[in-house]
Amino acid sequence: MRKKVQLIFTGGTIAMEIDPVVGAAIPVLSGEQILMNVPGLDALADFAITNFGKLPGPHMTPALMLDLAAEVKKVLSQEEICGAVITHGTDTLEETAYCLDLLIDSPKPVALVGAMRSSSEPGWDGPPNLIAGVRTVCCDSARGLGVLVVLNDEIFAASEVTKTHTESLGTFQSPDFGPLGIVDTDRVLILRRPAFQEHIDTIKVDTRVDIIKMAAGVDDRLIKYAVESGARGLVIEALGRGNIPTYAMPGIKYATEKGIPVVIVSRCLRGRVLDTYGYSGGGHELRQMGAILGGYLSGQKARIKLMLALGLTNNLETIQRIFEQNYY
């Protein structure tokens, strides 16, 4: 029996053409127009189509992510749908994928795909990425993996993947753990499964979460400004294992004393944060102040997670457990 896949088109470079007046790529293609340029796709499955939007990646917002999650939940509830493939702009693809991964609790696979080249450019990678995404969600071994990112014939967990290059076709990588599998011609090979999956059961998101990046000599001005201007949560991209300059410490104390959750991640591409160091500004002192450790998450993913956590609760102990229960 042929499987049926829901295709949800949100825009991105995969839906772009170079506009002769503007002289640059803009999103213009509908889902139906994209499919007309993907020969052989209809041999893989039957399809239902949702044209969610024609959004460039930078135009995606957390509120739209919630709307998208609701749409995905609705279609996955249909018995005849085996999974969903979502096209998306690559600039924010990892954030949307992670948001969906936290919100959707279904064994049916969901794959986000995109393109690094527009349909006007030689070597448009949209069609092969779309084919790989469909092959993945049709594969029984992809069930129960959570939300996936499929590009360049590699399959990544949404919780682990990040964009690493501004233009390379192999830009999406999982620096710490590598891909879950690959698409090899007509076969999907799942090589490992995530150790755990996390879900946040909320229909709300609090967008008042700011990211502040640490560097040598950074002080606490931006931290205090964020708090005073209404931030409900802070993500600090700290140095190394999770440490910050001494000059920034008063700002962390200021935030935590006001009951604002402060999540510490690392600006490094790989590795998790830990309260290893006991000097002033070290992770140990941050923990004593009430800061929350963000595990392996990047700043942008920690922000998504904190916005959803705040949509669920204001209880700091619960938020800490949401972030730390599987890492510490």
Q: Which residues are catalytic?
A: 13
Torsion angle, alpha carbons of 135, 138, 140, 145, to 10: 80
Under a CB-based contact definition with an 8 Å cutoff, are residues 142 and 188 in contact?
yes
Report the DSSP beta bridge partners of residue 266: 238
Q: What angle, 0 to 180 degrees and rounded to 10, lies between the N-to-C axes of helices 221-228 and 249-257?
A: 20
Torsion angle, alpha carbons of 161, 162, 164, 170, to 10: 40
Of 141, 24, 159, 176, give the one whose Cα is nearest residue 98.
159
Write down how long the chain is.
328
CA 107 to chain centre: 19
Report the DSSP beta bridge partners of residue 87: 9, 113
Question: Residue 50 and residue 146: Cα distance in Å, rounded?
Answer: 21
**CA angle (44, 47, 49) in 5-degree steps:** 140
CA 183 to chain centre: 21
**8-state DSSP, 64:** H
**8-state DSSP, 13:** G
Cβ atoms within 10 A of the Cβ of 132, count?
22
Of 21, 246, 44, give the one whose Cα is nearest residue 133.
44
Phi, psi of 89, deg, nearest 5: -65, 140
Question: Residue 181 and residue 189: Cα distance in Å, rounded?
Answer: 5
Question: Residue 96 and residue 105: Cα distance in Å, rounded?
Answer: 15
Structure tokens given for 78 = 């249909």
